[in-house]
Amino acid sequence: MFKRYAYLIVAAWCLLPFGVLAFYSHPALDDFAFGELLRTKSMDAYVADVYWYNSGRYASALSTVVVQVFGRHPAAYSWLVLAGLLALVAALYAAAVATTPSSAKPLAGPIGSVVLVACLLNFPKPADSIFWLTGEVAYLYPVVLTALLVALLGWLTAHPLAWWRWLAWVAAVALAAYIPGFSELTALLLPLVAAGSWVALRPRRAGVGFKVVMGAAVLGSVLTLATPAHFGHWQPATHPWLVLQTVARATLHTTYTLVNWLGNGLLVLWVLLALPLSVAFSRAAGERGLVQCLTRPLWLWPTLTLAGLWVCFFFYMLAAHDALVPRVKNLLYLYFVAGLVLSVHAAFRRLPAHHLALLLAGPTRWVLGVALLLTFFTDHNPRLLPARIGQGYNTVMQAYRDWLSGDAARYDQQQRARYAQVQAAAPAAAPLRLDPLRVMPTTLFYADISASPVTWGNEAYAAFFHYPAVYVAPALDR
């Protein structure tokens, strides 16, 4: 019993700084632009413009109603950010509960905790996808909805005779069609996972409902990627040498990404410590249930994980001639975590009994636990440089550092002082000079306005506060 609670305690400890930091988060750039735009523009007109003339991301545009709430109620920003974070937590635990066999429900909490901790440990840049509302809508919401889709499918698999299951199927089909519309990444990844699931579930045994859900995912992806908006923005490389060069670059970036996400050892050690849960889950489920069906082929999830990462790197480099921005890598990291957990579970299911006994032995568990603690708390400073002391290199430790050092509170004070300054100033012909940010916590800070009052970010900021023009003091004035 204590061991099961240990997973929950670790998850709560890792989640705590992010929940606290939500109350120190502040809007930036697109938040002000969309918040001001949606004060006057209707959502249907905005969604139509985004789909036909901008990016084709219909789900992201529809979900921007959350930013519209911020535009009308600016004080709600921190609560909206926190709601998105808690929605992710709730969705992950819901997926764990729905896919855990009824005879082993006490395992659901620890399993959800394992996945949550893995999501937070090496999350590339929380400032871009958790504490920036526009980024949260575009890159965290699809993960929330995907977890809810998994929960629905898990429940439907476990309750084939429930009288209201048709309603769950309708919701699953709607989610499958909606999720690809958040970005090109979701439009690429969801059909890939649907194809892999098709293989694992074996077409003859997959019911009509699963086939319709998979078809909806493909349809949503086609609607996102084939929108007229993309043909004007994308300029894909067509020369054979450029294509080959893009293949090489995508392969290099994928390899480098995997080396860095796995190389610090945290994820590997944490997942190995979850072996007892995997074993207990398999014994309770046997060959039944959604997770057991999806992990039958040992090769499937490693292949889907690697292919998904590579395809996304290749697509962006070929179509946009650019590397992935941090907020896109955040979404890729969560996809990688899901693939890693399923791949490891599939491998654990096939371990010989003597290997399982060795990994489950007390001494092995103690060694893994001590190694995890050392890896988690180290500041990765083998040269013992004074400047590197206390510089935790995993995301959870950085969040604690930004909170407990007082940097988040100082950042919050600076932003609030700016709001007070611009709201108290009388409109004038000359642009209003705002004080620069002296403290910019890594976990919270996404972007700032510039020293030029005519850049789009400055104009959005000024329009949001109904002031003619603003700028931040240039370096020479600081």
Q: What percent of the chain has pLDDT over 90?
A: 65
Report residue 478's pLDDT band, with 50, 70 and 90 as the boundaries. Answer: very low
Neighbour-count burial for 269-293, b at 16+ CB within 10 Å, e otherwise: bbbbbbbbbbbbbbebbeeebbbbb
* pLDDT score recorded for residue 233: 61
Report residue 197's pLDDT band, with 50, 70 and 90 as the boundaries. Answer: confident
Amino acid identity at 5 = Y
Expressed in angstroms, the distance from the first to the final Cα of the chain is 57
Are 431 and 471 within 8 A, CB to CB? yes
Are 264 and 394 within 8 A, CB to CB? yes
pLDDT tens string 288-312: 888 988 898 899 999 999 999 999 9
* pLDDT score recorded for residue 429: 79
Cα 462 from Cα 456, distance rounded (Å): 10
Pull the structure tokens for residue 179.
């999720």
Residue 371 CB-density burial (10 A; 0-12 exposed, 13-18 middle, 19+ buried): middle
- DSSP letters spanning 148-212: HHHHHHHHHHH-TT-TTHHHHHHHHHHHHHHGGGG-HHHHHHHHHHHHHHHHHH-TTTS-HHHHH
Amino acid identity at 258 = L
Q: Is the Cα dihedral 46, 52, 57, 59 positive or negative? A: positive
* pLDDT score recorded for residue 475: 52
Cα 435 from Cα 478, distance rounded (Å): 8
Report residue 477's pLDDT band, with 50, 70 and 90 as the boundaries. Answer: very low
pLDDT tens string 359-398: 788 888 888 888 888 888 877 766 666 766 666 678 999 9
Are 265 and 375 within 8 A, CB to CB? yes
Domain boundaries, the chain: 2-377
Are 380 and 371 within 8 A, CB to CB? no
Mean pLDDT across the chain, nearest whole number?
A: 89
Instruction: Output the pTM of the full model.
Output: 0.93
